A = this chain, B = another copy of it.
Amino acid sequence: MSYERLIYLADTDAAGVVYFAHLLSICHEAYEFSLAQFGINIKDFFKDSPVALPITQAEIQFFRPLFCGDQIQINFTARSLSENEFQLQYKIYLAEIMVAKAKTRHVCIDPTARKRIPFPESLKNWLGYLSTLEETGI
């Protein structure tokens, strides 16, 4: 799955480059974009939902700086770790050079009880769909 994005002024800081934490937010946009593309209503998904998908771990590595106006491409893949946990991997490219990579790990919980619950059907289908894309190399 691929997501394209212009780097905006708000993504940068006074050091002249993208502020480190903002690139993780941009990776999360790619994930949301993919859910929306798959037909999942992300409003229902993230707000007042019987299911929440909090991030338990995130990490990012930077190989080259990114600047305002850069047009980046994020390729990401998803992997189920169990019936209630998945991991996303993001590779961030600028003109075909990988400039950063990131990972986020998510658990599926009941947001009221804050206990783990199995993925809802829609998420299971989305995870399956992403795996298929990966196998076929799209």
Interface residues of A (CB under 8 A from B): 6, 8-10, 12-17, 19-22, 24-25, 28-29, 32-33, 36, 41-48, 52, 54-62, 65, 67-70, 104, 111, 114
What does DSSP make chain A's interface, helix, strand, loop or mixed?
Answer: mixed
Closest residue of B by beta carbon distance from A48: B16
Closest to A104 in B: B20
Residues B56 and A57 in contact, CB atoms below 8 Å apart: no
| Complex contact B15–A54 (CB within 8 A) | yes
Contact B43 A68 (CB under 8 A): yes
A60 to B61, alpha carbons, bound, how many Å?
12
- Distance in angstroms from A53 CB to nearest chain B CB is 8
Query: Which residue from B9, B55, B62 sits with its C-beta under 8 Å from A46?
Result: B9
Which B residues are in CB contact (< 8 Å) with A58?
A: 20-21, 24, 59-60
Nearest chain B residue, comparing its CB with the CB of A61:
B57
Closest 7 CB pairs of A and B: A43-B69, A59-B59, A42-B69, A12-B14, A21-B24, A20-B55, A14-B47
List the B residue with the shortest CB-CB distance to A60. Answer: B58
* Assembled-state Cα–Cα distance A37/B114 (Å): 29
Residues of B near A114 (CB, < 8 A) are 65
Chain B residues within an 8 Å CB radius of A29: 6, 8, 10
